[in-house]
Structure 1
Amino acid sequence: MYRHSLRRRVAIAFAMCVAVLSVVWGFAFFAAIRLSEDRVLAQQLQSAAENYPSLTSNLRGYEEVDSLPVSLRQWAQTNPSEGLYEFEAEELHVAVVPGSNGQRRAFVVFDVSDIEAASSEDWWLLLVITGVVGALGALGFGLGVLVMRRAVAPVAQLAKVVADIDPEQLSAEDHKRIEPNRFGDDEVGVLARTIEKTLERISAFVERERYFTGSASHELRTPITVIMGALELLEESDLSVTDRRVVDRVKRATFEMKATVEMFLCLARETDGGQYNEQFLVMPLVSQAIDQQRHLLSGKCVDVEINLNDVEIADLSKPIACGHSQAFSIAVNNLVRNAFEHTLDGQGPVTIHIKERVLFVTNQVSTETNERHTPTETSSQGYGLGLGIVQRLCERNGWSFSLYADEARVAASLSW
């Protein structure tokens, strides 16, 4: 349980990290200053010990220019102004001060040649300082990562819980895995509760969908089965030609209604008991679709040609597709019905070309078949609702559907 919001926790963590680093850097600089002081005093004491018993001072005063060290005389003759000067080559520091009683200026010279370390020691000192700075930087980085990780730990915990939920296999109990009470009342808690409610609604929707498709599958198919049984009884009775035509029309409409119901139920199902990995023969389903839709060619002078590459038409053992056989039958029925409906009298033939892993359904839409046209891929919209449903069925089963059209013909391709 967290008492503060995520924004405040991040701000507090950042402030704590900056404060700790500032204190550490302050102690580091203070230690460096004290170390420098001790080093200077030690060097000066060492120089005095080496000259004992003749104690010489590194700090001297000069009132005359001629009494200055030779290296400073030429500079002193330029009458420099008051202030501090450094001469690195001579390792001298000079202070120009006003003289007493209106006399000319005096010079205070500090010789640091015996105090400053050698160049090799400077490099070692620089290396040590670099190492200390690098260690402090690494410490600051590690501290920042640790503090920020603790600050955003609830977000990472929520992300892990959500990542463990499989959206493809969502169960009715998945929303209970989030447990939003452990995230408190901050922004993460609000997000967790929102995700829990969303998953709960999705789970309820999936449950309603399963119940609906299970009930609708029975409730919708039962009257259709009753109608088809009644039509079979009527066909066996002595009917006039006019009545038989009416029965045929009702029978075709019933078959179309049955196909539509099965199609929409197939699309509505989220899962279908592993039937999407079924292997089935393609040719029997194609022949069945042609027989069911052949009434659309009645009164038209249109032929239907079936071509199989490297397979005899009588050989029904191949090709073989993998997926949902009912979905494949619905897709083929839609393609065949669409081709039969859009083919006018004398604009045949309708060609169904079957290869090992692809099915082509081609129909003529113009009598100008002698002209050469370049086919272009087009959308399934505008060629009936059925082709849009075919696209969805293919996406569900991992198949591929495309439609090619030009001024003379339309070709639909279904590959698996």
Structure 2
Amino acid sequence: MYRHSLRKRVAIAFAICVAVLSIVWGFAFFAAIRLSEDRVLTQQLQLAAANYPVMPANMRGYETAGSLPASLRAWAQSNPAVGVYEFEAEELHVAVIERGDAQQRAFVVFDVSGIEAASSEDWWLLLVITGVVGTLGVLGFGLGVLVMRQAVAPVAQLAKAVADIDVEHLSTEDYKRIASSRFGDDEVGVLAATIEKTLERISAFVARERYFTGSASHELRTPITVITGALELLEQSELSQSDKKALDRVRRATLDMKTTIEMFLCLARETDDGLYHEQFLVTPLVTNAVELQRHLLSRKLVEVEIDYLANPGVNGHPQAFAIAVNNLVRNAFEHTLTGQGPVTIRIDERELLVTNQLSSGFDAQYSPTEASPHGYGLGLGIVERLCERNGWSFSLRADEKRVIARLSW
């Protein structure tokens, strides 16, 4: 479509604009000069016609300073240098020339009274010239804008095409709008081709993601369902006390695995189906998390104190909040040694605080974005990602005595 590159088109457009403006300004100055010449000649002819048949002698020569008009004698006696002088009050122009002897001066006096226009006419002429110059400036600006707009038109066209695209719902018309064949082989065409390839990769990635999450959802939930059914059958049989404890551990692990699988699938999906805008209460989820993780304190002399300062409602994904709270509670229980309690959980109107005494195995410089291989549940990095996805905030502060995890909304 375009034979030249964008850079060359911009350079050509700028050159054309400068050339046109230069030509216009040249004609304007030429016209002003001609107008001035015609104006002077017209004034002199009008003066001659007014004194006809006596021709005005408005230009005369004087050989000595004493022969000059009385108003110029004092100036001439000061021995002025060779040149041309103007006396506005007397309306005279005087040329000082050298005679044969360099010490002597001759004078040529040109009386312009009646030839020069009145001051009021000069102001009107200045006003007209200013109007013409302003008009030319506006026309030049408009011409520059028009030329540059034509030069960058393909860029604007591509930008508009990209702005109209809905990335989440790509259609055939979207690909047609940004087809590189519409923009030629210049820089804009290269950019359009890159955007086209990027959208194709995004579309392919979204298709793979939907296929994977759909397949993984079925394949991962099926064994969990089988295990859950087997546990229900085992519960109906007669079991020893130790077998019941083992069955409880398996049930808890199965429930954790089910919740984790569902949350990971939700994080992997591009769409959330409105799950991230549910309203839920914090207190039941915190209480449930404490009960699920209480087995970690079964052999420790550690108390758990829960301060219910409020019962706030939160907008977001309830499973995501439950997993985040479970992870924080698990970390607190696991890293609290015997006699180092209590573990304090405080529920406020805008935040949840989980505080535990710092054990020797916990690094105070631990970063919440790092995944830990030593039993930190899903890892504090996952908690941070869950909070970011739901619009919550998470922070971890540790000193020499205790660790405080804060989840606010």
Q: How high is the TM-score relative to the length of structure 2?
A: 0.87
Deviation at 1:260, TM superposition (A): 2.9
2:354 to 361, 376, 380: 361
Aligned to 2:397: 404
Deviation at 1:99, TM superposition (A): 5.0
Deviation at 1:191, TM superposition (A): 0.4
Instruction: Give the distance between the partners of 2:351 and 2:82, measured in 1 at CA.
Output: 99
Instruction: Report the secondary structure of 1:54's partner residue.
Output: coil
Instruction: Give the distance between the partners of 1:302 and 1:228, measured in 2 at CA.
Output: 31
Instruction: Give the distance between the partners of 1:333 and 1:142, measured in 2 at CA.
Output: 66
Instruction: Give the distance between the partners of 1:325 and 1:172, measured in 2 at CA.
Output: 34
Partner amino acid for 2:17?
C
Contact 1:172 1:204 in 2 (8 A): no
Where does the alignment leave 5 or more consecutive residues of structure 2 unmatched? none
* CA offset digits 1:90-109 (Å, max 9, x no partner): 33223344558999654322
1:338 to 331, 339, 362: 331
Instruction: Give the distance between the partners of 2:369 and 2:104, measured in 1 at CA.
Output: 105
Instruction: Give the distance between the partners of 2:404 and 2:397, measured in 1 at CA.
Output: 5
Deviation at 1:410, TM superposition (A): 2.1
Instruction: Give the distance between the partners of 1:102 and 1:406, measured in 2 at CA.
Output: 101
Change beyond 3 A, Cα 1:34–1:290: same
Change beyond 3 A, Cα 1:172–1:307: farther
Change beyond 3 A, Cα 1:267–1:156: same
Contact 1:377 1:404 in 2 (8 A): no
Change beyond 3 A, Cα 1:231–1:66: same
Aligned to 2:116: 116
Change beyond 3 A, Cα 1:108–1:293: same
Contact 2:396 2:403 in 1 (8 A): yes
Aligned to 2:319: 326
Aligned to 2:23: 23
Deviates more, 1:236-245 or 1:270-279: 236-245
Change beyond 3 A, Cα 1:102–1:224: closer
Contact 2:335 2:359 in 1 (8 A): no
Aligned to 1:388: 381
Instruction: Give the distance between the partners of 2:186 and 2:245, measured in 1 at CA.
Output: 72
Instruction: Give the distance between the partners of 2:50 and 2:77, measured in 1 at CA.
Output: 35
C-alpha RMSD over aligned residues: 2.9
Aligned to 1:171: 170
Aligned to 1:372: none
User: In the alignment, does 2:45 pair up with 1:45?
Assistant: yes
Contact 1:300 1:344 in 2 (8 A): yes
Deviates more, 1:207-216 or 1:14-23: 207-216
Instruction: Give the distance between the partners of 1:299 and 1:99, measured in 2 at CA.
Output: 128
Instruction: Give the distance between the partners of 2:120 and 2:406, measured in 1 at CA.
Output: 82
Deviation at 1:21, TM superposition (A): 0.5
Aligned pairs for 1:193-272 (under 5 A) are 193-240=193-240, 243-272=243-272
Aligned to 1:274: 274
Deviation at 1:124, TM superposition (A): 2.1
Partner amino acid for 1:344?
L
Instruction: Report the secondary structure of 1:55's partner residue.
Output: coil
Deviation at 1:325, TM superposition (A): 1.6
Partner amino acid for 1:408?
K
User: In the alignment, does 2:9 pair up with 1:9?
Assistant: yes
Change beyond 3 A, Cα 1:35–1:241: same
* CA offset digits 1:277-296 (Å, max 9, x no partner): 21223333223222222221
Deviation at 1:113, TM superposition (A): 2.1
Contact 2:259 2:319 in 1 (8 A): no
Contact 1:404 1:412 in 2 (8 A): yes
Instruction: Report the secondary structure of 2:84's partner residue.
Output: strand
Once the two structures are aligned, what percentage of the paired residues are identical?
Answer: 75
Instruction: Give the distance between the partners of 2:352 and 2:126, measured in 1 at CA.
Output: 78
Instruction: Give the distance between the partners of 1:101 and 1:346, measured in 2 at CA.
Output: 124
Change beyond 3 A, Cα 1:79–1:354: closer
